[in-house]
Structure 1
Amino acid sequence: MPSFHNGAVEIAYLDEGEGDPIVLVHGFASSKNVNWVYPAWVSELKKDGRRVIALDNRGHGDSVKLYDASQYDIAMMANDVLALLDHLDLERADVMGYSLGSRMTAVLALSQPRRLRSAILGGIGIGMIEGGGPGENVAAALEAPSLEAVTDPVGRTFRAFADQTRSDRRALAACLRGSRRLMTADEAAGIAVPVLIAVGTADEIAGSAQALGKIIPGSEVLDIPHRDHMRAVGDKVYKAGVLDFLSRQD
């Protein structure tokens, strides 16, 4: 698996296929494989004639594990994506995130609009601005001695997911505490690249996609029917909507 360094931080990534490049940025406690390879996103996008690049965020997957929350500032994490574009000599790419990855993508869309042909924000709605979702309850669940010791239902969900993906739970707790800065409504309103917001209609973590869509100028909203935060990722409606959106970008 190839990797590169952004400063002292080693980031693992995959780079497959040929065509217009798209960078995939996974969610909290996930990885490039769990979020994008296993649900067939990489194969579907390659089949659509695209070069598919996906990284493991710092603290996740095969990338370096850091235990200082200050090393997970959301802008710092977003900069890892920018550094990957630079490493691959890519001037511009579509970028699709999911959940935490979408918050990173939104930071890039705002700060580096010339580098993004479009931004796809999966698994995040108005929660990007208003908060909600995993908080200190999840960090505590990740640090608990066992899943059985966790009583908070949201904490249990994320702890079980972290155990299933064999993640470094201490690194994830640091990531959660360090990456929680929200985007303001004024910042979101300043995003000028084409945006697709895709959220499951049963997602209780992301917040309203429609509410976020009203703030980001010209954005499109895709409802993923009957899917919650965890199960929306591989949905065929999500995939079809993304491929349609990408086909309409210049």
Structure 2
Amino acid sequence: MTLNSSWDFSSFDGVKLKIHEIGQGKPVILLHGLFSNAETNWIKFGHAGSLAEAGFRVIMPDLRAHGQSEAPHDADAYPDDVLIKDALALIDHLDLPEYDLGGFSLGARTTAKLLTTDITPGKAILAGMGLEGLAGWDRRQGFFLEAIELRDTAKRGDPHWMAIQFMKSQKIDTVAAAHLLKTFSDMQPKAIETITTPTLVLCGSEDRDNGDPDALADLLPNGHHIAVPGTHMSSVTKPEMAQEMLRFLSGEI
């Protein structure tokens, strides 16, 4: 299935974000992970196509400094929680009477924080996410900033190696990425407990990169955890990811 459209959106500060769409029907907005893009997370392995075939309009932004979206080098283009501001601007622009919302890894962190604002999606999906992944960002930020610094010198076996190879494969602008990494803020358990949106925590059975998915689902008032095959990196390549998303969004679980 081919994309229905791909269009530019001017965010709250004028930075251009590329928005990809496929399908018609009930809208679902999907946010990709760190150093990835809509193509890699949602389109390449068929997840967006599966949802579209089932009657969903799948809306997938390339996040700021990712994919085909602009990646400004000016530090002023990266205020605190800028991805939250971008997502809220897009949701306001779309002016949808109803929609669902989901994300993978960084997209899930962004989704979780969005669920504490005044937006009202019908359902939410937090993929590749556990409880610890929503807090303690200083440690993770340091790891990724080190990966950027070591991108030309790290050898195979270095703990940063896989992150560096993924950044290179996605042609990440490391100047913009370093600015963006410094904008994320932590989310505390008390905030998670306020999220009443029915939420699916969808995590690879071998994925604990972002902590314990069961603990996250238990803390959410309407949370539910399902495991799919794979690690943090491989789970998004598996058809089970789309299958469980679809079961949840369609009301089967």
TM above 0.5: yes
Root-mean-square deviation (CA, aligned residues, Å) is 2.0
**Cα distance in 2, alignment partners of residues 3 and 206 from structure 1:** 31
Tell me which residue corresponds to 2:249.
Answer: 246
2:237 alignment partner AA: G
The CA deviation at 1:203 is: 1.3
The CA deviation at 1:88 is: 2.4
Tell me which residue corresponds to 2:61.
Answer: 55
- Where does 1:1-250 land on structure 2 (aligned, <5 Å)? 1-6=6-11, 7-67=13-73, 68=75, 71=78, 73-74=80-81, 76-114=82-120, 116-131=121-136, 134-144=140-150, 146=152, 148=154, 152-153=158-159, 155-179=160-184, 181-225=185-229, 227-248=230-251
**Change over 3 Å in CA distance of 1:69–1:151 after alignment to 2:** farther
**Cα distance in 1, alignment partners of residues 249 and 131 from structure 2:** 23
**Change over 3 Å in CA distance of 1:245–1:72 after alignment to 2:** farther
8 Å contact 2:122–2:198 — kept in the other structure? yes
1:228 alignment partner AA: T
8 Å contact 1:58–1:64 — kept in the other structure? yes
**Cα distance in 1, alignment partners of residues 9 and 204 from structure 2:** 33
**Cα distance in 1, alignment partners of residues 145 and 171 from structure 2:** 16
Q: Structure 1: which 5+ residue stretches go unaligned?
A: none
Q: Deviations over 1:80-130 (max 9, x none)?
A: 12222222231331111000101111111111342x111100011112344
1:110 alignment partner AA: T
8 Å contact 1:143–1:169 — kept in the other structure? no
**Change over 3 Å in CA distance of 1:177–1:218 after alignment to 2:** same
**Cα distance in 2, alignment partners of residues 150 and 234 from structure 1:** 23
**Cα distance in 1, alignment partners of residues 48 and 199 from structure 2:** 20
1:236 alignment partner AA: P
Q: Secondary structure at the match of 2:123?
A: strand
User: Size of the alignment, in residue pairs?
Assistant: 244
Range that drifts further, 165-174 or 42-51:
165-174
Range that drifts further, 30-39 or 170-179:
170-179
**Cα distance in 1, alignment partners of residues 41 and 33 from structure 2:** 7
**Cα distance in 1, alignment partners of residues 53 and 246 from structure 2:** 11
**Cα distance in 1, alignment partners of residues 56 and 134 from structure 2:** 31
**Cα distance in 1, alignment partners of residues 206 and 124 from structure 2:** 23
Range that drifts further, 137-146 or 2-11:
137-146
**Change over 3 Å in CA distance of 1:145–1:228 after alignment to 2:** closer
**Cα distance in 1, alignment partners of residues 183 and 110 from structure 2:** 13
**Cα distance in 2, alignment partners of residues 145 and 222 from structure 1:** 35
Aligned identity (percent) is 30
2:94 alignment partner AA: L
The CA deviation at 1:64 is: 1.3
